[in-house]
Amino acid sequence: MITRDVSLVVIGSGPAGLAAAIKAKESGIDEVVILERSEELGGLLHQCVHNGFGLLCFKEDLTGPEFACRLIEKVNELGIEYNLETMVIELNARRNIKAVNPQKGVMNLNAGAVVLAMGCRERTYHQVGVMGTRPAGVLTAGTAQRYINVEGYLPGKEVVILGSGDIGMIMARRLTLEGAKVLAVVEKLPYVGGLKRNEVQCIHDFDIPLYLQHTVTKIHGNARIEGVTMVEVDGKGDANKATERLIGCDTLLLSVGLIPENELSLQAGVKLDLLTNGPFVSERMETTIPGIFACGNVVTVYDLVDYVMWSGEIAGKSAATLVKGKKTQARKPKRGKESISIKAGNNVRFVSPQSIDKEIEDDVDIYIRVTEPMRNVEISAGDGNEDIYKKIYRAVTPGEMVVVRIPAKQLKTHNELVIKCEKLAWLGININFERCTGCRYCEAICSFGHFDEVNPVKSCIRIYNDLQSNVYFPIIAGPYTDAKCTSQRFVVIQGIEYDACALCPICCPIRPFFMEPGTENSLKCDMCGMDPMCVQFCSSGALTLATEKEE
């Protein structure tokens, strides 16, 4: 039996755990120990051979193994101690850890701080409750991913995938590339559960059938799966038996969600959020137990590995600060006046972190997921009297996280913030003619943003100038109203007569004002994805964003 005191123990060596250990070491903690139950560092990154990793944190398009190698090389370079094939079996609130290792036996570690980075696991058929037998060929998408990418086995030739999580959609593509036939991706909800890019690149680009608002109700077969019964469901999830359909297959993959692994968290007395299934954490990733931090998918299931890594860096740096004694970061729920409570409001499923220190000096990123897909929405953060954050989004989905960045200077006077997502009934650009100076920056930025060249003729906004009165009128190419043209050629404004065809924002077939040069295509304002560049660059305030929220 080994008993020793350690400054910092990191449990788990996925991207979050490795990032936490690296940041803690770089912050001046000499004795950092990683405990990993697997036979290698990197978590599940080694079996994720597809690209798309590191686009944000490394500014490169990496595969999972390449991403892992970047972190593992840094761990070795810094000389961080790690123990593989080591299972942590006990953790208490005093940060006493008991672990077992095949070479070292029982290890008792007394840690100055602990970072929980155990990641998450897949839901199985036990949580789904599909009727029928349990033959061979029914497995989770992650297990199939390891079989193909690590072990070199093809789990089946005719496959049905239940659920549209990211791993499931990625495996649909991988199986197709390996020669298998993916007969169907079946999703109970009216939208996919993963990233939009995976839906496009993995499902649509390979013409794989996607059945939304469908589910699998029965598994057929004894020794080996022979087929599944698929049925359509209504908005409440109830099956319509009249739509039952038998699909013959030899494999059923389950991609029905992930569960943060928090058995050790509960053992230590850490309070969990029922919405995220992970610990309540502060902006420093500290849990409700002083000295115990959590990061990565053990807190909430992130959609990008970059977010996982960043949370690990925050936890590692915060744990190092605590160990070095620079600041006591423990914050119990009773200390309401010292922290700001972050809560989920309208159409927001959950928020993470759930509290922020009022003395925070850096801007804080709050990660949220919405409850349902929505278009043209405003996400805001406020206390009911004042909104300190507002941003308009063209579209949001539950499968993609939204990051709300709150400036530190605006957090000082608040005790609670509610994050809301509200649908906008109307969205447009307000024009204040009296403020327009005729600078034409709007024309330049519009044409450059859409055509990569500064050419006012290609702009969806034009400045009409009356030389006699020296008045400027910004005119926008739609979106057009249903008003009818009265054929009046002139309009009088404050006693001055103007050409009505130049001022009217309606698309006129007689005198088209906005046409793409060299084509017959009409130019129409697309609002730049609900964040118009012309509004951003209008220094005079002539152009402002106009919105109304649905009641």
Q: Which residue has the higher pLDDT, 295 or 363?
A: 295
Helices within 324-458 (DSSP H only):
441-451
Q: Give the integer Cα–Cα distance in Å for 265 and 90.
A: 10
Binned at pLDDT 50, 70 and 90, residue 492 comes out as: low
Domains 1-121+257-333 and 125-256 alike in fold: yes
Binned at pLDDT 50, 70 and 90, residue 385 comes out as: confident
What's the pLDDT score for residue 480? 46
Query: Mind listing the pLDDT tens digit for each residue in 352-364?
Result: 999 998 888 888 9
Query: Mind listing the pLDDT tens digit for each residue in 450-473?
Result: 888 999 888 888 888 766 667 788
Q: Give the integer Cα–Cα distance in Å for 290 and 232.
A: 49
Residue 41 clears pLDDT 90, i.e. is over it: yes
* Nearest one of 254, 327, 236 to 286, comparing CA atoms: 327
Backbone phi, then psi, for 538, in 5-degree steps?
-85, 100
What does the pLDDT average to over 275-285? 95
What Cα–Cα distance (Å) separates residue 11 from each residue in 136, 352, 413? 33, 21, 36
Q: Are 114 and 9 in contact (CB under 8 A)?
A: yes
For the chain, the domains span: 1-121+257-333, 125-256, 432-549
Least confident of 225-234, 313-322, 454-463: 454-463
CA atoms within 13 A on the CB side of 91: 27
Nearby residues of 262 by Cβ (< 8 Å), 6 or more positions away:
116, 118, 270, 272, 277, 278, 279, 298
Second CATH level (architecture) for the domain 1-121+257-333: 3-Layer(bba) Sandwich (3.50)
* Cα dihedral 286, 288, 294, 296 sign: negative
Nearby residues of 488 by Cβ (< 8 Å), 6 or more positions away:
500
Q: Are 189 and 211 in contact (CB under 8 A)?
A: no
3-class secondary-structure state, position 335: coil
**Burial of 100 (C-beta count, 10 Å sphere; 0-12/13-18/19+):** middle
Strands 364-370 and 471-476: unpaired
**Token output for 212:** 């939304």
In one-letter notation, the amino acid at residue 480 is Y
Backbone phi, then psi, for 8, in 5-degree steps?
-145, 130
Least confident of 168-182, 362-376, 460-474: 460-474
Q: Which residue has the higher pLDDT, 498 or 158?
A: 158
**Token output for 21:** 């250990």
Residue 500 clears pLDDT 70, i.e. is over it: no
Query: Which uninterrupted H or E stretch holds 19?
Result: helix 15-26
3-class secondary-structure state, position 261: coil
Q: Are 167 and 257 in contact (CB under 8 A)?
A: no
In one-letter notation, the amino acid at residue 78 is L
Class (C level, CATH) for 125-256: alpha beta
Q: Are 442 and 537 in contact (CB under 8 A)?
A: yes
What's the pLDDT score for residue 395? 85
Helices within 387-478 (DSSP H only):
441-451
Query: Mind listing the pLDDT tens digit for each residue in 325-341?
Result: 844 444 443 345 578 99
Least confident of 328-337, 407-416, 430-439, 449-458: 328-337
